[in-house]
Amino acid sequence: MVLRWGIIGCGDVTEVKSGPAFQSAENSKLVAVMRRDAQKAKDYAERHQVPKWYNTLEGILTDPEVDAIYVATPPGSHLEVALEVAKHGKPCYLEKPMARNLTESMEIAKAFELLSIPLFVAYYRRSYKRFLRLKALLDSGRYGQVSSVQYRLERPAPAPGATPAGWRQDASISGGGLFVDLGSHALDLLDFLFGPLQLRGAAARRPEADPAEPEDSVVVAFACGEQQTTGTGVWNFHSTESSDVLEITTSNAKILLPDFMNGRQVSVKSPDGTVLEEWVEAPPSTVQLPMIQSVTTAILLGDPSLCASDATSALRTARYMDDALETFYGGRADAFWKRVESWGVNSK
């Protein structure tokens, strides 16, 4: 049996990261795409040899030859689009983050749960071999119990005249600043590796920023797992350097991932610096292929547990994001993007 996919929102993320995976995964076929701009939808379909294209939700969702839907629109439209997908009874693979806040995310999850329709979320790094191997190592206890976790992501501020980050810096579309786009992936991976997090955070923006700009630096502290391991995370988008480092301290070793999100190396060292083991595992060329394969298999076999990123785990990540940004936005449960006057309360 082959699962026939339709894509809603065939923008940049679908060109290389995800779109080709629906054609190359086993028992999967991409049969239709939809974008409100008809010319762009047609162009995508022709370039990727997709049989059908639409410029309305109704068109693709009522196509009897489309079995499941991948929603690849920005987060600001996830609630509207996902509810339509659920209404039409189609299993869904939803781009991350799930929505702009936990409130919208819970509404989406509830709609699919009430209709017993499968819902998965594109936190695709959970399926990388590098992280699966790391999780197995941590779970084995080979180097003792994890005692602390430190994560840090730094990016230089854009140079004057540089291309802006676009919708990812528009809270009404993305749900916040770059932290929402990149931090959600990192926090979801920490959840995957160490178990559910109990998290608190603070966020700020640089003093010279426009009052309508979202956060550009975030710090969180968390406890996780049965052993209540403690950890910290820092995201700084106006740094003087670039780094993306995860350091895990256990009772008798340090585990270092020098390029956490997109790298390939994992090193384990003893307290005196001796390398105990080291491996290199590159991300797949089509980064979402392993996750899309697991989603396809889970839907075809009727077993959601075959996919590591479902609505339950994605809701936890949505909660972490709200917990980290709560004070900056003066609350996150409502349409905070409409009241910029309340932003930045903890950065004054």
pLDDT tens column, 119-171: 999 999 999 999 999 999 999 999 999 999 999 999 998 776 665 668 999 99
Q: Which domain holds residue 148?
A: 126-282+317-347
- We report the CATH number of the domain holding residue 221 as 3.30.360.10
Distance CA 195, CA 136 (A): 13
The tally of domains found in the chain comes to 2
Instruction: Assess whether 98 and 153 both reside in one domain.
Output: no
Instruction: Assess whether 187 and 120 both reside in one domain.
Output: no
Distance CA 35, CA 82 (A): 15
Q: What is the pLDDT of residues 27-75, one digit of tens each?
A: 999 999 999 999 999 999 999 999 999 999 999 999 999 999 999 999 9
Cβ count within 10 A of residue 46? 10
- We report the CATH number of the domain holding residue 54 as 3.40.50.720
Instruction: Assess whether 162 and 191 both reside in one domain.
Output: yes
Q: What is the pLDDT of residues 192-244, one digit of tens each?
A: 999 999 999 999 999 888 888 999 999 999 999 777 899 999 999 999 999 99
- Six-digit token string for 283: 């991300």
Instruction: Assess whether 147 and 116 both reside in one domain.
Output: no
Distance CA 34, CA 10 (A): 7
Helix, coil or strand: residue 47: helix
Q: CB-based contacts of 31: which residues, under 8 Å, 6+ apart?
A: 4, 5, 6, 50, 51, 52, 63, 65, 66
**Could you tell me the pTM of the whole model?**
0.95
Distance CA 327, CA 312 (A): 25
